[in-house]
Amino acid sequence: MKKIEITFINGDKFEIVAETIAEMRTNYYADKDGFKFGSKEWKEEFEHSMTDYELKGWMQNNLDWKDISRFAMKVETPNVDYDKLWSDININIVE
């Protein structure tokens, strides 16, 4: 199952099933162009809507958080014991 991961600037992550966004886009064009749910045209538009480019573009340009929040599932970050991982760190000096 294809999912879309959203990461907010504060680090909170959410996942949304890609089909949910693709259906929103497809239904919009079905209404606009006058084809019915489940028709050949609808199915073709849905397949097009499932491409990464269209999913990302539709979300960025046509949706707000309020449109998708009920479908988003928060990805919980696991508790990490950094003391145990300390010996395997990668150190970079950046100027």
Please write the tens of the pLDDT for every residue from 18-66: 999 999 999 999 999 999 999 999 999 999 999 999 999 999 999 999 9
What is the predicted pLDDT for the residue at 95? 65
What is the predicted pLDDT for the residue at 86? 77
pTM of the predicted model as reported, rounded to 2 decimal places: 0.78
Which of the four pLDDT bands, split at 50, 70 and 90, describes residue 10? confident
CA-angle at 6, arms to 27 and 50, nearest 5° = 35
Give the count of alpha carbons within 13 A of 75, CB side only.
Answer: 14
The more confidently predicted of residues 69 and 85 is: 69
Picking from 21, 12, 11, 3, the residue whose alpha carbon sits closest to that of residue 57 is 21
